[in-house]
Amino acid sequence: MIKFELTLRFSNKRKMLENIKSVYFIKNLFYNLTPLTQLKIVKYNKSLQNKIDITLMNYKLLSERYIVQEENGKTKEFSLFDNQLLFEGEYLNGKRNGKGKEYLLSGRFGYIDMIFEGEYLNGKRNGKGKLYSYRNDILISEEEYSNGILDGKVKYYKEGLLFFLGEYKKGKPWNARTYDKNNVLYEIKEGNGYIKLYDKYNYSFFEGEYINGIRNGKGKEYNHNGVLFVGEYKDGKRWNGIRLGFNNYVNYILKNGTKYTKDGEEIKEKIFFEGECLNGREIGKFYDYWGNVIFEGETLYNHKIKGKSYDSFFRLQYEGDYQFDKIWNGKGYDKGGNQIIDLHNGKGMVDEQDFSCGQLYYKGEYLNGKRNGKGKEYFGKIEYEGDFLNGEKHGKGIEFFNNNYEPRKLFFEGEYLNGLKWNGKGYDEDGKVAFELNEGNGVVKEFNINTFKLMFEGEYKNGKRNGNGRELYDKTLRFEGKFLDGKRIGKGIEYNSSGDKIIFEGEYLNDKKNGKGREYSEKGNLIFEGEYYNNIKNGKGKEYDGMGNLLFEGIYYNGIKNGRGKEFDKKGNIIFNGYYFNGERII
């Protein structure tokens, strides 16, 4: 059953929590609030602190994180926005001092990617440290820091083997040597020479000439897709050369530090902000890529604090205060200038619209800058009507198929928990009960809300796909296998568009091909067998011509032949035995 509806009916959360006697309810209500709201409510309330069993007097707010000091003297830092653990270790005078662990998030995906374990001084890395992969606890590097920058010996490892040994001086590469696959030596001494450098993922990100630890002369920059820039550097800056994009598309050409198109037209630098900057606070105008003002006001550490937001035609969308980028105190308008938002301390009635076309997405109550209370969600017509909590469907509600039938055809009715269907009944196109959920568990049929067609049938647990299941597209079987928390896991089979031929069979993790697998043509003939990582060929593999003849056997990296490999003719004779780099033979 849903237990959190009380939060929507009280404006004074502190009194609400004081009046509730059940510690279970207090904890659940409290932990559903944002960290900032938690701090405000219990900062001076020892009664609540005792019930919640947390010494909140030791909480401290920082710019984009908050810290909790535990009884053993160690401190933990959490993200203020999603409660993600960022650091745990020793503190002194409000800063990291001593030994600690830093949890590094992937910029691309937002999950914990790596752990840095080492020494800190005055909030910065200082002394020896080690970097590990979070997923498999493999050592990636050993490093020495001074005042937050590399200063001392550096070792990089790949698959447990040392492949780079060097020394940095005040953040600059100073002494190092590496070898490529052809055993060619790259060396830098006292900041001078030609060297290959690597990032924390063990990818080469630069190779070229250095003078006094700064890029000077010829060089190349890389990203995960290949060469990013090739040319000459002057005092650490790109000076002459070509900047490449996806599929080696020429983004621009540099001549003496000035950018030109490949047709020779000078590229003017775009302005994205103009105004005043001080201690992470920016006051002024912010522009989009095309030079349109999209926000005018004040930000702190890239988060909106106060100001006006505009669309690309400089029509006012919202004016007022923000809290961590959420609209908080202010008024909003549609493209005709009509008021559709009126918020006071994150609370009020809101119409969420696509400003360009007037498409209504949500109409209802707001609290803490999010959907909270009674509301209606639209996609053309009403898709959902019911309760919301912290921006999610939560409580009693009904969901409809998105069609033109009147009266509307029911899709689901019952209770939701944090956006998930929890207790209730689901219906098919004919209005018949297709499945029932009890505490998020059951055997479920998922339908496309626009076409009524079956998309999934299988086991649910805790409101998500968990267990055996089948995915369909246009009534055709496309996948069957196991699921965990809504994602494919373990052994599974993919089918072609007709549903009568296997096109892949193998292992999955986090909804992607991970592990060993076999790939088939649309006609069902084997074309590849080997190892995958995140849907991409990585590791040992074999290619076939679709008629049973082996064409290649070797190593893949990021979907391309990289490393040792053999090529065969149709009679099985070896026609090449050597090494590949980015898909090409090198030796």
386 and 21 Cβ atoms separated by less than 8 Å = no
Mean pLDDT of 5-24: 42
Q: What is the C-alpha separation between 198 and 186, in angstroms, rounded?
A: 13
* Of 446, 463, 505, nearest in space to 481 by CA: 505
Residue-wise pLDDT tens digits, 204-242: 678 899 999 999 999 999 877 778 899 999 999 999 999
Q: What is the C-alpha separation between 260 and 253, in angstroms, rounded?
A: 5
Q: Which of 111-120, 290-299, 522-531, 532-541 has the lowest mean pLDDT?
A: 111-120
Helix, strand, coil percent values for the chain (each to nearest 5): 5, 60, 30
Q: Which of 54-63, 176-185, 470-479 has the lowest mean pLDDT?
A: 54-63
- Per-residue tokens: 295: 């926000």
Dihedral through CA 20, CA 25, CA 31, CA 36, nearest 10?
-10
* Of 204, 231, 227, nearest in space to 215 by CA: 231
Q: Is the pLDDT of residue 71 over 70?
A: no
Residue of 492 and 247 predicted with greater confidence: 492
- Per-residue tokens: 352: 């969420």
pLDDT value, residue 42: 56
Residue of 81 and 408 predicted with greater confidence: 408
537 and 519 Cβ atoms separated by less than 8 Å = no
Q: How far is CA 109 from CA 43, 112, 113, in A?
A: 34, 9, 9
Residue of 50 and 376 predicted with greater confidence: 376
Q: Is the pLDDT of residue 296 over 90?
A: yes
Q: Is the pLDDT of residue 64 over 60?
A: no
Cα–Cα–Cα angle for 564, 566, 567, nearest 5°? 140
Residue 335 three-state SS: coil
- Per-residue tokens: 571: 């009679």
Q: Is the pLDDT of residue 12 over 60?
A: no
297 and 307 Cβ atoms separated by less than 8 Å = yes
pLDDT value, residue 32: 56
pLDDT value, residue 4: 31
pLDDT value, residue 23: 47
327 and 369 Cβ atoms separated by less than 8 Å = yes
Mean pLDDT of 138-157: 90
Residue 244 three-state SS: strand
- Per-residue tokens: 222: 């890389």
| Residues across the chain | 587
Cα–Cα–Cα angle for 485, 489, 495, nearest 5°? 115
Q: Is the pLDDT of residue 562 over 90?
A: no
The band of 9, judged by pLDDT with boundaries at 50, 70 and 90, is: very low
Q: What is the C-alpha separation between 381 and 406, in angstroms, rounded?
A: 11
Cα–Cα–Cα angle for 78, 80, 86, nearest 5°? 25
CB atoms within 10 A of CB 91: 22
pLDDT value, residue 248: 75
**Whether this model's pTM surpasses 0.85:** no
The band of 53, judged by pLDDT with boundaries at 50, 70 and 90, is: very low
132 and 121 Cβ atoms separated by less than 8 Å = no
Mean pLDDT of 329-354: 88
197 and 212 Cβ atoms separated by less than 8 Å = no
350-367 core/surface letters (b: 16 or more CB in 10 A; e: else): bbbbebeeeebebbbbbb
Mean pLDDT of 21-42: 53
Mean pLDDT of 5-25: 42
Q: Please give the mean pLDDT across all residues of the chain.
A: 82
User: In which element (H, E) is residue 14 found?
Assistant: helix 13-19
What is the separation, in whole angstroms, between the first and last Cα of the chain? Answer: 66
The band of 309, judged by pLDDT with boundaries at 50, 70 and 90, is: very high
Contact residues for 233 (Cβ-Cβ < 8 A; gap 6+): 208, 209, 215, 216, 217, 218, 219, 239
The band of 568, judged by pLDDT with boundaries at 50, 70 and 90, is: very high
Q: How many CA atoms lie within 13 A of 537 on its CB side?
A: 21
Residue 522 three-state SS: coil
Contact residues for 326 (Cβ-Cβ < 8 A; gap 6+): 346, 368, 369, 370
The band of 14, judged by pLDDT with boundaries at 50, 70 and 90, is: very low
Residue-wise pLDDT tens digits, 119-140: 999 989 999 999 887 666 788 8
Whether cis (ω within 30° of 0) applies to the bond prior to 173 is: no
Q: Which of 96-110, 185-199, 259-273, 445-459 shows the highest mean pLDDT?
A: 445-459
Q: What is the C-alpha separation between 1 and 480, in angstroms, rounded?
A: 32
362 and 376 Cβ atoms separated by less than 8 Å = yes
Q: What is the C-alpha separation between 381 and 259, in angstroms, rounded?
A: 49
Full set of structural domains in the chain with CATH: 475-587 (2.20.110.10)
Residue-wise pLDDT tens digits, 409-444: 999 999 999 999 999 999 998 999 999 999 999 999
Q: What is the C-alpha separation between 141 and 154, in angstroms, rounded?
A: 7
Q: Is the pLDDT of residue 56 over 50?
A: no
372 and 366 Cβ atoms separated by less than 8 Å = yes
pLDDT value, residue 138: 82
The band of 73, judged by pLDDT with boundaries at 50, 70 and 90, is: low
The band of 202, judged by pLDDT with boundaries at 50, 70 and 90, is: low
Q: Is the pLDDT of residue 458 over 50?
A: yes
